[in-house]
Structure 1
Amino acid sequence: MSQRTPSTRKSVSQEPVTSVLPDGDIPYDPKHSWNQDEETLAALGYKPEFKREFNLWTTFCVSFAVLGLLPSFASTLYYGMGYAGTAGMTWGWLVAMIGIQSVAASMAELCSSMPTSGGLYYASAVLAPPGWGPLAAWITGWSNWLGQITGAPSVNYGTAAMTLAAASIVNPSFVPQNYQVYLLTVFLMIIHACMASLPTKTIARVNSFGSSFNIVALVVVIILIPAGTNREEQNLPRFAPSREVWGDIYAGTAFPSGVGILMSFIGVIWTMSGYDSPFHLAEECSNAAIASPRAIFLTSAVGGTFGWFLQLVVAYTVVSIPDALESDLGQPFAAYLVQILPQRTVLAVLSLTIIAGFFMGQGCMIAASRVTFAYARDDCFPFSNVWKKVNQRTKTPVNAVWFNTSVGCLMLLLIFGGSLAAGAMFSIGAIAAFVAFTTPIFIRVFFVGNRFRPGPWNLGRASIPIGVVASAFVVLMVPILCLPSVVGADLTEATMNWTCLVYGGPMAMILVWWVVSARKWFKGPKVNVQHMMLGREVAGEDVLVGHEVAEAESQSGLEGKAAEAAKDAESTEVR
């Protein structure tokens, strides 16, 4: 990746300010000594409101906690293993990671150029052709918000299911009921909301510990499973033959094997969907134009590598895929562990996974609250004046945290519709996030091209080819993620894939809202550098160059005094 030194970046005094914030508040203060991060944010149109107490490591920690490889894998094993078996888990993961890493790299480049909490939504508005910015921001913002808002409920639902499955292993007579799963999930949501309302420094420390625990737990499980497996006691080889692991495609769908492999990517996509978090934390990160994109790229790369190792471990040790999927435990990962490990070891692995899931849910809550805050700041939501408030004591968007928590608890009512209905939350998160991730990338590649102004972290000449791969991957996967696993007479309400309705329904209403009303008042984020960002000519009397603010004010004062002096002289002369 090519990098330019930060010293080549322009000062805020050299950036054009093409919009004025409410009440005539221009984000430039000649009396304040701006640091590099404040200059960049002010040039993008926003005043600093957060403390920059995140750095590369702590930002990576939040992102890796949101990624949550171990709990994410455990929660979505039904899709990865159930649709294509071990083949989808081994070489299928590698194929999916090519597309996912391309998306992450392209997103990191956008983050370096526009390090704001609005992230993808801001980038879409800036990069869209003239007149299309508000619509692009509207679609990207709402899709991203739907993906973010399902993150904590999905993770906590998986964590609650694993906790109750562990209780069933200890007491086989206990069968978890839907209301128990719901109440435990809501309880986790409330705990995470309280934690996400704490000061930034405390949140950074908690997530540093949580991410470290996630990494340690992942390594321990990767070692513990192959070391402790009792397959040989079941008259099986210690590990399944490679030709079976890599070659056998489990017929988990009614579609051809190739489509089944693509459908299994939902597990990969959902597991690898947290790498956008550094974008949303950019306004709380020091040296954001470099640290945040690095965190995005590293989260995807490190997560993809360790995730593949975990996939290999499970693929080489699973005894019966149908038994794992159809177990009365109601949690395929727990059922898989029971097949190959002694009970105490099963409980140890589940305990590590549950604790890792707890920290993952908290990371999801933080990232989602920053997205809600950023969109409310630009009046995207009803009652935005409430959700965009930053608590003056903690310097965090507490109102946004509890708004998201309330919406998440309502979404969790899908639990009472059965496992497939609850599973729609995972599908929504995958498809909504991918649409939001790729919209600004697609615009940047096919509409902006070489006019794009990169930041200090950029892909150089590989930028457009990588963006093309990212866009093509998402265009392929969006319809695949909506396919049901069965067709014909077997397709019923219980076996239907409701993703197209649960995601498509809200998005359709959002587009209707745009046509009927929002297009008249929603102008997108307060973009201040769209002309410079795209290398266009800056024209219009509304443009005020930063260093001219003070000069204009000073000159205006001098001219005013001169005018007053001339008026006094004229009056004296008349007298």
Structure 2
Amino acid sequence: MSVDEDSRRLAELGYKQELARTWSGFSNFAISFSIISILAGCFTTFGQAWNNGGPIAISWGWPVISLFILIIGFCMAELVSAYPTAGGIYWWAAKMGKPIHGWFTGWLNLIGLIAVTASVDYGCATFLNIVLARLTGGAWAGTLPQTFLLFVIVLALHALINIFSHRLISLLQNVSVWWHVAGAVIVVAILVFAPSDHQSLGFVFGGTNNNSGFGDGSDGLPFWLYVLPLGFLLTQYTITGFDACAHVSEETHGAARTAARGLWQSIFYSAIGGWILLLAFLFAATNVDELNKQGGFVGAIFETALSSPLATVVFAISTIGQFFCGMSCVTSMSRMTYAFSRDGAVPGWRLWSKVDRNRTPVNAIIAGCVVAALITLPALYAPAGLTTPVAFYAVVSIAVIGLYLAFLIPIWLRLRMGDAFQPGPWTLGRKYKALCWIACVEIVIVSIYFIMPFSPAGVPGSDGFTWTSVNYAPIAVGVVLILIALWWTLSARHWFTGPRRTVDEETETV
């Protein structure tokens, strides 16, 4: 499909071609592959799975949950093929449903994208902290305030790259893919050949662990019904953000096909690569006591199984991968902010929907990064003894809940439309019914689990309760949902009509 044909299809959907259409199909795939980033999520949220389930939450949990996520991806690929717009999920919901569906989908998606940007960049700052401490021989202390400072610096760098290097972003996405592939291969090779011994198959595929504090640390019924599912946050968080393929579809050649293909393929290849990487972690996790002592922090594996120089190499590979991931997150988040704003849904929408002379939504980039920094402020505080603040996992939960609930609405609406839905060139055919139902049920279950407390200290009224242990995801998501519901009821329902047509009559007749 030529650029003119892409622009014509966009005009049929109601929009002028304002963003520069310079991305290839590979670049479209690359942004979602980079945001999923097995060098980010597999490293930063490993502890969540280790403490809540242990090896089986990873060795079995990863492939099982990945399969469900791939099904969600198939459902969304069909939608992006039919509606290749920067608004992505929000546009689909408004098109297939009513303005209220677009309203809630847009806000949930925007919340999720800002939270995933915050969590990725905070994870990058955490690992950069470690690298600096190792390279300086401990002169860099790596305190929580220092981590937050690095987090703000990383956010600022990502904003600047997105503002001033539009064409470079596409190139860096491609570089990011190969960094993730080569980096993962190098890390796996190091963990296979460098350690003097490895764990057994029985440990990797049958070992359990319960450091959550629930169920007295045993593997009884509470473990299987509550603790273990909390460990699945590792997979559900790592393999997310793949809606980026839709958000940059207005900048992609042949988007009706390439964006759909890029979306599901980014999930598929990340699932395979991530599983291999995580299995390498588990086989190298021979010092279980130290890993438990550090709260399941993956760095304990590298520090105990590898020489100091090799451990530093692994930390550095992950840090650079996370930097690429955060850069891609800012790109996706800013495009969603721009698209939602041009339809008048965000306060100050005229400001956020502007593009500069390079056709880049500069104001949307800055605004999203500022909000990402603000929602991560609680990470300045952590319970004693924890390497990673509970606030980090709370932001992770906000990202997962916001994004997957945003995915749920258009998938449900497509299911409801049935044969009235007009598919694009990439379609599920008659299999859409079974796949959409599976996707909807999985998202509902996941969203319920990830608003739950991560430890007894985070349960109000329990002995030892502390605010630094609270999973504030339900508070953050709940407050925002209440506010946007009130806003809809009192005001927006009178003027918000969904996507606005920005294409003029001449463009429409081309």
User: Secondary structure of 2:85's partner?
Assistant: coil
2-structure distance, mates of 1:193, 1:494:
29
Alignment of 1:178-327 (within 5 A): 178-230=144-196, 238-253=197-212, 254=214, 255-321=222-288, 323-327=290-294
Aligned to 1:518: 492
Q: Which runs of 5+ in 2 are unaligned?
A: 215-221, 383-388, 457-461
Displacement of 1:44? 0.7
2-structure distance, mates of 1:344, 1:545:
63
Which of 44, 47, 57 pairs up with 1:88? 57
1-structure distance, mates of 2:61, 2:3:
48
Letter in 2 for 1:441: I
Q: Which runs of 5+ in 1 are unaligned?
A: 1-5, 7-32, 231-237, 529-543, 551-575
User: Secondary structure of 2:452's partner?
Assistant: coil
Q: Say if 2:483 is the partner of 1:509.
A: yes
Moved more, 169-178 or 196-205: 169-178
When residues 461 and 545 of structure 1 are mapped into structure 2, their CA distance, relative to the original with a 3 A threshold, is: farther
Residue by residue over 1:129-183, the C-alpha shift from the partner in whole angstroms, topping out at 9 and shown as x without a partner, is xxxx111111110010011112222111111111222344453575422221111
Aligned to 2:409: 439
Residue by residue over 1:517-543, the C-alpha shift from the partner in whole angstroms, topping out at 9 and shown as x without a partner, is 111121111379xxxxxxxxxxxxxxx
Moved more, 402-411 or 83-92: 402-411
User: Secondary structure of 2:8's partner?
Assistant: helix
When residues 34 and 424 of structure 1 are mapped into structure 2, their CA distance, relative to the original with a 3 A threshold, is: closer
Displacement of 1:201? 2.3
Displacement of 1:200? 3.4
Displacement of 1:256? 2.2
Displacement of 1:491? 4.7
Which of 321, 339, 349 pairs up with 1:374? 339
1-structure distance, mates of 2:141, 2:409:
44
Q: Say if 2:127 is the partner of 1:162.
A: yes
2-structure distance, mates of 1:430, 1:455:
28
- Is the CA contact 1:199–1:396 (under 8 Å) kept in the aligned structure 2? no
Q: Say if 2:403 is the partner of 1:428.
A: no
Q: Say if 2:457 is the partner of 1:457.
A: no
1-structure distance, mates of 2:292, 2:342:
44
2-structure distance, mates of 1:34, 1:190:
33
CA RMSD, Structure 1 to Structure 2 (Å): 2.2
Aligned to 1:343: 308
Q: Say if 2:102 is the partner of 1:102.
A: no
Moved more, 165-174 or 242-251: 165-174
Displacement of 1:42? 0.7
Aligned to 2:374: 410
2-structure distance, mates of 1:317, 1:474:
32
When residues 406 and 545 of structure 1 are mapped into structure 2, their CA distance, relative to the original with a 3 A threshold, is: closer
User: Secondary structure of 1:526's partner?
Assistant: coil
Which of 75, 82, 90 pairs up with 1:113? 82
- Is the CA contact 2:354–2:361 (under 8 Å) kept in the aligned structure 1? yes
User: Secondary structure of 2:126's partner?
Assistant: helix
Moved more, 398-407 or 99-108: 398-407
- Is the CA contact 1:211–1:359 (under 8 Å) kept in the aligned structure 2? no
Aligned to 1:478: 447
Letter in 2 for 1:317: A
Displacement of 1:545? 13
2-structure distance, mates of 1:209, 1:316:
29
Larger Rg: 1
2-structure distance, mates of 1:366, 1:218:
23
1-structure distance, mates of 2:378, 2:411:
32
User: Secondary structure of 2:149's partner?
Assistant: helix
Displacement of 1:199? 4.7
1-structure distance, mates of 2:35, 2:444:
25
The percentage of aligned residue pairs carrying the same residue is 27
Letter in 2 for 1:212: W
Aligned to 1:67: 36
Aligned to 1:355: 320
* TM-score under structure 2 length normalisation: 0.91
Aligned to 2:92: 123
2-structure distance, mates of 1:380, 1:371:
11
Letter in 2 for 1:507: L
2-structure distance, mates of 1:545, 1:348:
57
2-structure distance, mates of 1:214, 1:225:
16
2-structure distance, mates of 1:222, 1:504:
40
Q: Say if 2:359 is the partner of 1:395.
A: yes
2-structure distance, mates of 1:148, 1:300:
17
2-structure distance, mates of 1:280, 1:286:
13
- Is the CA contact 2:393–2:471 (under 8 Å) kept in the aligned structure 1? no
When residues 331 and 527 of structure 1 are mapped into structure 2, their CA distance, relative to the original with a 3 A threshold, is: farther
User: Secondary structure of 1:70's partner?
Assistant: coil
Letter in 2 for 1:210: S
Paired residues in the alignment total 488
Aligned to 1:489: 463
Residue by residue over 1:472-515, the C-alpha shift from the partner in whole angstroms, topping out at 9 and shown as x without a partner, is 11111111111213345355433332211122222221111111
User: Secondary structure of 1:263's partner?
Assistant: helix
Q: Say if 2:38 is the partner of 1:46.
A: no
Aligned to 1:21: none
Displacement of 1:319? 2.3
Letter in 2 for 1:209: V
2-structure distance, mates of 1:323, 1:384:
50
- Is the CA contact 1:70–1:214 (under 8 Å) kept in the aligned structure 2? yes
